[in-house]
């Protein structure tokens, strides 16, 4: 396949190589109150955590930052439907109370676009198999067990971890030097969705609504001139949701001020940057995504590790004769 990485590179490596030498998988119980699940995401700096059903004695779901966006909106709408008091402080407190009444089982009521069943790969599977599962099912993470149908979970594989591993392989540059030197605008932008953006004077509620409705991981925030001002990502919602005083009606700009400095959260690339440059930047665990800017400085895409993997991977598993 033209412009895709030789699948044999990833076929020669097992997922086992990606497992951390030490570390634990934090697991959430399906009957856990949502506020504890939220605290776990925030305190462990996690983007995804697996959900275990004690009654069924198996893993049933993955709780992610994307779900968190939906849950915050779900609690807000439930509150609005019940006729929330007009006072902003009281409404914020009531939204937090509504959030605390939810359990992880309530995730199933969110009608999320997820594949049926709990998808899992084995440590013995090839990295190609894992990468294709991530791509074909549009997964935020891939649970890894000691077998593909195990009750023992060893790791949650993120697309950026695969990308970071690829970035270290000398054979990638040997076999795909031309693709790596292609500009982002040519090689990656066709695989990225049309960017959704929001103005800095929009409300936090409006921005979260866009993240949820469009299933986005990040939303570039523009100033009055249309230039990039900041980014709101689903990861940021961990912090916003854990603050009981957060009122969704507040201006987005005010909400962003409560987050870590934007220098650490806003990572960019230019359409003229090479694919290799994008891979190096996305391999940094702090870079959840790259906001791609055109020559005039306008936002033209949000590039994620998943999009880069999609560019590198074959469109279907290789067939062995």
Residues in the chain: 321
Judged on CB neighbours under 10 Å (0-12, 13-18, 19+), 247 is buried
Q: What strands, in cross-sheet order, belong to the sheet with 121-122?
A: 121-122, 142-145, 153-157
Q: Which residue has the higher pLDDT, 263 or 162?
A: 162
DSSP per residue, 222-253 = E-TTS-EEEEEETTHHHHHHH-TT--TTSBHH
List the beta bridge partners of residue 233: 218
Q: What strands, in cross-sheet order, belong to the sheet with 290-293?
A: 268-270, 290-293, 299-303
Neighbouring residues of 28: CB distance < 8 A, sequence distance ≥ 6: 36, 37, 40, 49, 50, 51, 52, 63, 104
**Half-sphere exposure at residue 24, Cβ-oriented, CA atoms within 13 angstroms:** 4
For the chain, percent of residues with pLDDT exceeding 70: 82
2: pLDDT strictly greater than 60: no
Mean pLDDT of all residues belonging to the chain: 83
Task: Please tell me the predicted confidence (pLDDT) of residue 319.
Answer: 45
**Half-sphere exposure at residue 62, Cβ-oriented, CA atoms within 13 angstroms:** 27
Task: Please tell me the predicted confidence (pLDDT) of residue 100.
Answer: 66
DSSP per residue, 98-147 = HHHH-BGGGGGGG-----SS---EETTSBHHHHHHHHHHTT-S-EEEESS
Diameter of the chain measured on Cα atoms: 69
3: pLDDT strictly greater than 60: no
For the chain, percent of residues with pLDDT exceeding 90: 36
Of the candidates 37, 27, 29, the residue with the CA atom closest to the CA atom of residue 152:
27
DSSP 13: S
Two structure tokens written together for 271: 């359409």
Give whole-number Cα distances, 16 to 89, 144, 159, 162, 172, in Å: 49, 9, 15, 12, 19
Q: 33-53: per-residue pLDDT in tens?
A: 887 888 888 888 888 999 998
Q: 99-117: per-residue pLDDT in tens?
A: 667 777 766 555 555 666 7
Q: 68-110: per-residue pLDDT in tens?
A: 888 888 777 766 665 544 444 445 556 566 666 777 776 655 5
Give whole-number Cα distances, 301 to 193, 291, 294, in Å: 7, 6, 9
């Amino acid at each position: 396949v033209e412009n895709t990485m030789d699948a044999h590179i990833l076929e020669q490596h097992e997922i086992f190589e990606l497992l951390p030498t030490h570390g634990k998988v934090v697991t959430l119980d399906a009957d856990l109150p949502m506020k504890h699940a939220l605290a776990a995401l925030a305190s462990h700096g996690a983007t995804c955590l697996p959900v275990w059903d004690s009654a069924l004695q198996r893993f049933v779901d993955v709780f992610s930052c994307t779900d968190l966006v939906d849950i915050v909106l779900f609690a807000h709408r439930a509150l609005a439907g019940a006729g929330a008091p007009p006072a902003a402080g009281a409404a914020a407190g009531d939204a937090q109370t509504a959030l605390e009444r939810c359990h992880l089982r309530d995730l199933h009521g969110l009608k999320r676009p997820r594949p049926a069943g709990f998808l899992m790969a084995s440590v013995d599977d090839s990295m190609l198999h894992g990468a294709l599962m991530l791509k074909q099912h549009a997964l935020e993470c891939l649970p890894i067990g000691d077998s593909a149908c195990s009750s023992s979970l060893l790791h949650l594989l993120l697309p950026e971890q695969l990308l970071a591993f690829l970035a270290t392989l000398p054979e990638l540059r040997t076999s795909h030097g031309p693709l790596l030197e292609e500009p982002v605008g040519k090689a990656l932008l066709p695989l990225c969705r049309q960017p959704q953006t929001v103005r800095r004077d929009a409300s936090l509620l409006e921005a979260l609504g866009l993240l949820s409705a469009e299933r986005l991981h990040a939303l570039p925030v523009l100033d009055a001139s249309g230039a990039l001002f900041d980014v709101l990502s689903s990861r940021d919602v961990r912090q916003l949701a854990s603050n009981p005083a957060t009122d969704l009606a507040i201006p987005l700009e005010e909400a962003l001020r409560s987050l870590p400095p934007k220098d650490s959260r806003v990572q960019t690339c230019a359409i003229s940057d090479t694919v290799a440059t994008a891979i190096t930047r996305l391999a940094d665990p702090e870079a959840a995504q790259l906001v791609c800017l055109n020559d005039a400085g306008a936002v033209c895409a949000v590039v994620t590790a998943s999009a880069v993997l999609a560019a590198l991977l074959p469109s279907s598993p290789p067939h062995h004769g």
